Amino acid sequence: MLLFSRQGKLRLQKWYVPYQDKLKKKVTRELISTVLGRKPKMCNFLEWRDLKVVYKRYASLYFCCAIEDTDNELLTLEIIHRYVELLDKYFGSVCELDIIFNFEKAYFMLDELLIGGEIQETSKKNVLKAIQAQDLLQEKGDMSPNSSPSSTPGDKELLSRKLK
């Protein structure tokens, strides 16, 4: 999955197939130029090499996935939309700057939604709960810099109460 701006700046990338860095850069460059070169009213699906590319523009960001020929384009479009909804709900009207300054949160949300390029969790509520739990642990760790990373039984109880 690639997220890039209208100017062609890469904002986030997640690869589910191993490629060498040089090839990743080439593929990224080609996909960005191909998608940006298309007119706004054109279809969001295109064939590229031996893959299908599914993309969608939200405000100033393009969300782009390259899928296998046998994968469902509409399901991929729905996954992109679900990811945007999650980002929007977490950040409250997400913008490009939210992705730039909170890229680790954006990656974490994507990892909660997809594993190995396959949908893991369909419930927005469950994904957001996992993110809130991570935020809670991060805040707790930030508040006590001398504490060890291992959690105490009280931490687990507090976390389980927050998740309910």
Residue 138 has a pLDDT of 85
Choose among 50, 54, 79, 73: nearest CA to 64.
54
Mean pLDDT estimate for the chain: 88
SS (H, E, C) the chain: CEEEECCCCEEEECCCCCCCHHHHHHHHHHHHHHHHCCCCCCCCEEEECCEEEEEEEECCEEEEEEECCCCCHHHHHHHHHHHHHHHHHHHCCCCHHHHHHCHHHHHHHHHHHEECCEECCCCHHHHHHHHHHHHHHHHHHHHCCCCCCCCCHHHHHHHHHHHC
Residue range 16-65, pLDDT digits in tens: 999 999 999 999 999 999 999 999 899 999 999 999 999 999 999 999 99
pLDDT in tens, 111-130: 999 999 899 988 999 999 99
